[in-house]
Structure 1
Amino acid sequence: MLIFSIARTKDREKLFHWIGSISTLKGHIWTLKEHSHVKINTIDDANQYSIAVTREDSTHHYLKHNNIDQNLDLYLTTTNKQNIEMLFSKRIDLIIATDAMIKTHVESSDLQYELLKKVFTFNPNEFQLYIAMSKSTSPLLVRALKPLLKKYKTN
């Protein structure tokens, strides 16, 4: 089975055959502008605040690897839309999202994008989208696809 696209994380590393990177994700930590008390200079600073992420999403995996999953104010949801709604209803202080994801969900929910602010931006190398294949895929097929992706990316 081909998966297009999936964020490559340490938790997922051994679960798939990784064909190759197709793009980077510019992820941010967001809060409401009125939350002037929120200050984040490093990912560790997020431990001071309540945060919502989608369960088993790449952002959840990232927080786990940075020990933020130990935060008692970490809320695991089933959708990104829930995270945004929790932020706007002031049930949490922070969410993690890309610009595109935020804009899409905010606009579809009749919320105001202008009320949000970015308080931290991740290194793009920390969140990359890949083409992957399930572990049950033939190794011959995996080896055949890797050079095809490289060739496509150079054209």
Structure 2
Amino acid sequence: MCLVSAVFSQAKETFLVVTELSPPNQTLVNGKVNGIVTESVRGLFDAAKLTPDIRMYPWARAYKVASEIKNTFIYSLARTKEREDEFYWIAPVGKFYMGFITLSERLDISVETLEQAKRYKIAMQRNDFSTQTLLKYGFEVVLTSDIQKSYDLLLAKKVDLIVDDPLYMQQMSDYLGLKKGHLNFIYKIDELTVDAYLAANKQTDPHLIKALQAAFMSVKQAKELPYKK
């Protein structure tokens, strides 16, 4: 069966796509998953003539589902050396610039090197690339199921630090109804600057992978076309 006919026969099916809450990229409004990256992902599926069933889970669950169930997709997944052979990497959808975040009132906390941060209590998410990286560097962390749980622990002063992107910190702050300046991004971790992808379970039908990759290239070329000379 050729690629076109294979995709056509599957076009009326829906394919599970999992993600986590991470404003502004992934938001939940009236039970529907929205957000900047979500709309890009929907656009790719539409261009590939495929129908996504996008569901939002705590990150640990989303990662587990995408790791275990064939024909399942996940975003925004950090592409790391350790994960390279665990997923099909379809298309980049963003970039993470991660670092330590604390409460602005915590003037007793100072981080000028990665090593210094080890003296503080840190909440991080299970199966998150940043957690995996810091554990490799010898950090001891409090594990949570998703980023909102980590923020909850920070706000309750049960931990000293969490790890997130400064852009997402501001969006999460707005989502949680915090006053401006309540949180402070105090240290960028260079080791956690990485591309984020739409990826798929390793048992996913190769025709689906090719269709989505072709859709990405088509969309990318179309966006670049007006700027070509």
Shift >6 Å, 4+ stretches: none
Q: How many positions carry a matched residue from both structures?
A: 151
1:1-155 counterparts in 2 under 5 A? 1=71, 2-68=73-139, 71=140, 74-123=141-190, 126-139=193-206, 141-143=208-210, 145-146=212-213, 148-154=215-221, 155=223
Structure 2 runs not aligned, ≥5 long: 1-70, 224-229
Shift of 1:124: 8.4
| Deviates further, 102-111 or 114-123 | 102-111
Shift of 1:8: 1.8
Q: How high is the sequence identity, in percent, across the aligned residues?
A: 26
| C-alpha distance in structure 2 between counterparts of 1:138 and 1:30, whole Å | 40
Code of the aligned partner of 2:164: A
Secondary structure of 1:4's match? strand
Query: Given the two structures, how large is their TM-score scaled by the length of structure 1?
Result: 0.78
Code of the aligned partner of 2:187: F
| C-alpha distance in structure 2 between counterparts of 1:4 and 1:77, whole Å | 19
Secondary structure of 2:80's match? coil
**For the structure 1 residues 149 and 42, does the alpha-carbon distance in structure 2 shift closer, same or farther, using more than 3 Å as the test?**
farther
Per-residue deviation, residues 3-49 of structure 1 (Å, max 9, x unmatched): 33322234432210112323212223111122223222232322111
Shift of 1:151: 4.5
C-alpha contact 2:123 2:143 (8 A) present in aligned 1 = yes
Per-residue deviation, residues 95-152 of structure 1 (Å, max 9, x unmatched): 1112343334333433334122111123387332112121012345535544543443
Structure 1 runs not aligned, ≥5 long: none
Shift of 1:91: 1.3
C-alpha contact 1:54 1:83 (8 A) present in aligned 2 = yes
C-alpha contact 2:122 2:162 (8 A) present in aligned 1 = yes
Secondary structure of 2:177's match? coil
| C-alpha distance in structure 2 between counterparts of 1:142 and 1:120, whole Å | 37
| C-alpha distance in structure 1 between counterparts of 2:176 and 2:95, whole Å | 26
Secondary structure of 1:12's match? coil
